[in-house]
Amino acid sequence: MSAIYLDHAATTPLDPEVRAAILPWLGELFGNPSSAHGYGRRARAAVDDARDRVAAAAGCASREVVFTSGGTEADNLALRGVLERWGAERGRHLVVSAIEHEAVLATARELAEAGRADLTVVDCDRQGRIDPAAVASAVRPDTVLVSVMLANNEVGTVQDVPAIAASVRARNPRSLVHTDAVQALGRLPLGLGTLGVDLLSLSAHKAYGPQGVGALVAGHGVFPAAQITGGGQERERRSGTENVAGVVGFGAAAELARRRQETDAAELSRLAGWLTDLLTESVPGLEATGDPAVRLPGLCSFVVRGCRSELLLAVLDELGVCASAGSACSSGAPVPSHVLAAMGFGDLAGSALRLSLGRSTTGADVQAAAERVQVAVARVRGGGGIAAPIR
Q: What is the pLDDT of residues 112-139, one digit of tens each?
A: 999 999 999 999 999 999 999 999 999 9
pLDDT tens across 248-264, in order? 999 999 999 999 999 99
What H or E segment, with its residue span, contains residue 260? helix 244-282
Does any domain span residue 280?
yes
Q: Is the pLDDT of residue 108 over 50?
A: yes
Tell me the CA distances in angstroms from 306 to 226, 315, 356, 371, 389, one per residue in order: 47, 14, 22, 18, 20
Shared domain for 287 and 330, answered yes or no, is yes
pLDDT at residue 335, rounded to an integer? 74
Shared domain for 21 and 8, answered yes or no, is no
pLDDT at residue 327, rounded to an integer? 74
Does any domain span residue 388?
no
Which residue, of 213, 241, 256, is where some domain finishes? 256
Q: Is the pLDDT of residue 387 over 60?
A: no
Residue 331 domain boundaries: 4-12+261-381
Mean pLDDT of 176-203: 97
Shared domain for 125 and 196, answered yes or no, is yes
Cα separation, 262 vs 281, in Å, equals 29
Does any domain span residue 217?
yes
Shared domain for 192 and 338, answered yes or no, is no
Shared domain for 294 and 241, answered yes or no, is no
Does any domain span residue 41?
yes
CA 50 to chain centre: 20
pLDDT at residue 213, rounded to an integer? 98
Shared domain for 172 and 79, answered yes or no, is yes
Catalytic status, residue 300: no
Does any domain span residue 330?
yes
Cα separation, 123 vs 384, in Å, equals 39
What H or E segment, with its residue span, contains residue 377? helix 363-381
Shared domain for 278 and 237, answered yes or no, is no
pLDDT at residue 383, rounded to an integer? 62
Q: Is the pLDDT of residue 331 over 50?
A: no
Does any domain span residue 333?
yes
Average pLDDT, rounded, for the chain: 95
Q: Is the pLDDT of residue 330 over 50?
A: no
How many domains is the chain built from?
A: 2
Shared domain for 338 and 204, answered yes or no, is no
Cα separation, 49 vs 203, in Å, equals 17
Which residue, of 256, 290, 314, is where some domain finishes? 256
pLDDT at residue 336, rounded to an integer? 84
**DSSP one-letter code for 63:** G
The more confident residue out of 387 and 99 is: 99
Which residue, of 256, 271, 303, is where some domain finishes? 256
pLDDT at residue 303, rounded to an integer? 97
Query: The CATH number of the domain where 78 resides is what?
Result: 3.40.640.10
